[in-house]
Copies of this chain bind each other. A is one copy, B any other.
């Protein structure tokens, strides 16, 4: 019973959806192509028609989620902003809010974060983190050039801290079964933490010549 092209695309998406759920709940290694295709309401034949093998499936899953990730990264990449650290703070909290409401993003994070490096998961996360590092680094570099950065940390160190904190926050939130308000607590933390990175304005007897 051959389907139309739209139907074919629909089954393809169904397979991707099923893979997302199975990969997330069972883990990539334990996930069987039979389980995935059965969950999608098709047979392994259909899966092998659309995808070469399990790795290709994971790749496709990754490609499908890339636009969202890219959008979030670009949202923080606006150049020449007059308040880079403020923009960074805003972007981070926005990201947390969006993440908390998007089950698909959460599943992708779990899949890529909990999958072992040899299965391509780490490579993906590395790439995303590298792009994120570059954009954040750019923003923070702008802040430094404007003299807004504390001397306590170098720009690269601030970038590392930001990424590690956000990653750890999200990881723990997912691992804990979402039992604390990610965006709320995260936003408050980011706000306070950002103050650690800002050069102190002027506390009574501080001589800071420009």
A-side residues, CB < 8 A to B, are 25-30, 114-119, 122, 125-126, 129, 152-153, 156-157, 160-161, 163-169, 171-173, 175, 180, 185, 188-189, 192-193, 195-196, 203-204
Contact = CB atoms under 8 A, between A and B. Distances in A.
Given A125-B175, A195-B196, 20 more contacts: A26-B118, A27-B118, A29-B30, A114-B114, A114-B116, A129-B172, A129-B175, A152-B192, A161-B169, A163-B172, A164-B165, A164-B169, A164-B173, A165-B165, A166-B168, A167-B168, A168-B168, A168-B169, A168-B172, A171-B171
Given A122-B175, A167-B168, A168-B165, A192 B196 contact: yes
Copies of this protein in the complex: 2
Which 3 A-B pairs rank lowest in CB-CB distance, beginning with the nearest?
A168-B168, A27-B116, A29-B29
Contact of A153 (B129, B157, B188, B204): B188
